[in-house]
């Protein structure tokens, strides 16, 4: 088995690089059981944690428990506190949490075989409450859990955003599926938006694409097309599979210079995407964001279609709940991870020459 710990990224988040074929094995049998001495699992120590989540009334909490158990390599038990309860708000303020689930262990976790490695890697950090020491799973180490609820963000009702790498073939497929759903559910109030996986590095001139200048130029065109020509943007994506951007724009009767003149505005729009890409360490395409509040990753073996199907089902349920004046449940999703990344199929496609 091949794995390696990588350095912290610019957000301070530690990443584990794993051969894709081994990822499900690690999740199934427990990551740290492969790092620690033989016999750890035979002892089967248990751990108890407190879970703060948007709601405690669905399967999301069980899925989080399964993920935490795979992470620790041992069984767990937990108590759930809904985000609307006063105790949940107190814990969120105490830990300065910016996203949920918030997973908290008391000091007994220090006796767990996995603890030393987790704390050394800063995957768990301590805090004090009423003179007692507690340990929380650090934010975005929570990428082990089934989707993240982002606190203190304005809700954008019905919006399904897709974070996309340059030329990732799965994003047009996802957009097509969502648009088909919208077509058959015209009163649901859903919309789809592509966001772009780019980075803002002032020392290198500002916004850059991990796939180079040509990819950035295409992202700049697409972000303006999506804003100014939303009804033509899906057709442009289809045309780009076979044509250069100039030919694609010509078929849509759009002059390239009209798009190019919007470069400054396009850079401002991409800067907003770059902030969320950095904040949430988004490296997989597609990654979904529901209503600007739920971040839903995709994992090897649980592909974008599984995540998207679940998202649309939850979107429909949410719309129905709101029509009936009920509180909706948060979306269930595939486990976090990477659907396609710079080392897989997103760089395997070709872009027609612009000559």
What is the number of alpha carbons within 13 Å of residue 27 lying toward its C-beta? 23
The answer to whether residue 9 is domain-embedded is yes
**DSSP per position, 247-264:** HHHHHTT--HHHHHTTHH
Please check whether residues 21 and 166 belong to one and the same domain. Answer: no
Q: Tokens 């739920």 identify what position?
A: 294
pTM of the model as a whole: 0.71
The answer to whether residue 354 is domain-embedded is no
The answer to whether residue 353 is domain-embedded is no
Domain with 162, as residue range(s), is 153-347
Please check whether residues 172 and 255 belong to one and the same domain. Answer: yes
> Do 92 and 54 meet the contact criterion of CB atoms below 8 Å apart?
no
Please check whether residues 99 and 239 belong to one and the same domain. Answer: no
Please check whether residues 65 and 187 belong to one and the same domain. Answer: no
Please check whether residues 139 and 178 belong to one and the same domain. Answer: no
Q: What is the C-alpha radius of gyration for the chain, rounded to an integer number of angstroms? A: 22
The C-alpha atoms of residue 259 and residue 236 are separated, in whole angstroms, by: 13
The domain tally of the chain equals 2
Please check whether residues 127 and 231 belong to one and the same domain. Answer: no
CA dihedral sign of residues 305, 197, 266, 248: negative
Please check whether residues 219 and 328 belong to one and the same domain. Answer: yes
3-state secondary structure 112-172: CCCHHHHHHCCCEEEEEECCEEEEEECCCHHHHCCCEEECCCCCCCCEEEEEECCCCCHHH
**Phi then psi for 167, rounded to 5 degrees?**
65, 20
Listed range (76-85, 142-151, 343-352) with the worst mean pLDDT: 343-352
Q: What is the pLDDT of residues 56-91, one digit of tens each?
A: 876 778 888 988 898 888 999 999 999 989 999 999
Please check whether residues 142 and 169 belong to one and the same domain. Answer: no
Please check whether residues 11 and 141 belong to one and the same domain. Answer: yes
287-290 and 124-129 strand pairing? unpaired
Please check whether residues 171 and 309 belong to one and the same domain. Answer: yes
Q: Which of 58, 50, 294, 71 is nearest to 161 (CA)?
A: 294
pLDDT > 70? residue 342 = no
Q: What is the pLDDT of residues 261-286, one digit of tens each?
A: 999 999 999 999 999 999 888 888 88
Please check whether residues 283 and 257 belong to one and the same domain. Answer: yes
């Amino acid at each position: 088995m091949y794995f390696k710990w990588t350095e912290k990224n610019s957000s301070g988040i530690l990443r584990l690089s794993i051969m894709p074929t081994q990822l499900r094995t690690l999740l199934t049998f427990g990551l740290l059981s492969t790092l620690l001495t033989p016999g750890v699992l035979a002892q089967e120590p248990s751990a108890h944690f407190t879970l703060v989540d948007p709601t405690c009334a669905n399967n999301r909490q069980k899925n989080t428990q399964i993920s935490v158990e795979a992470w620790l390599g041992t069984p767990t038990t937990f108590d759930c506190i809904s985000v609307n309860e006063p105790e949940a708000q107190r814990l969120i303020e105490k830990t300065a949490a910016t996203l949920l689930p918030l997973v908290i262990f008391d000091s007994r976790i220090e006796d767990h075989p996995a603890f030393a490695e987790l704390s050394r890697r800063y995957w768990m950090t301590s805090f004090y409450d009423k003179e007692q020491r507690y340990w929380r799973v650090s934010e975005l180490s929570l990428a082990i859990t089934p989707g993240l609820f982002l606190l203190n963000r304005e809700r954008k009702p019905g919006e399904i955003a897709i974070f996309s790498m340059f030329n990732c073939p799965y994003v047009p497929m996802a957009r097509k599926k969502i648009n088909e759903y919208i077509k058959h559910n015209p009163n649901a109030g859903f919309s789809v938006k592509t966001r772009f996986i780019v980075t803002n590095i002032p020392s290198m001139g500002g916004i850059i694409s991990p796939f180079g200048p040509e990819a950035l130029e295409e992202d700049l065109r697409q972000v303006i097309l999506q804003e100014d020509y939303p009804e033509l943007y899906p057709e442009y994506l289809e045309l780009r599979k076979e044509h250069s951007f100039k030919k694609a724009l010509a078929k849509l009767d759009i002059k390239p210079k009209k798009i190019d003149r919007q470069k400054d505005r396009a850079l401002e729009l991409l800067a907003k995407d770059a902030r969320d890409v950095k904040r949430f360490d988004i490296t997989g395409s597609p990654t979904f964001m529901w209503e600007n509040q739920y971040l839903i990753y995709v994992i090897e073996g649980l592909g974008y279609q599984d995540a998207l199907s679940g998202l649309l089902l939850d979107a429909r349920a949410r719309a129905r709940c709101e029509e009936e004046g009920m509180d909706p449940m948060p979306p269930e999703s595939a486990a976090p991870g990477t659907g396609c990344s710079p080392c897989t199929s997103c760089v395997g496609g070709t872009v027609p020459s612009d000559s």
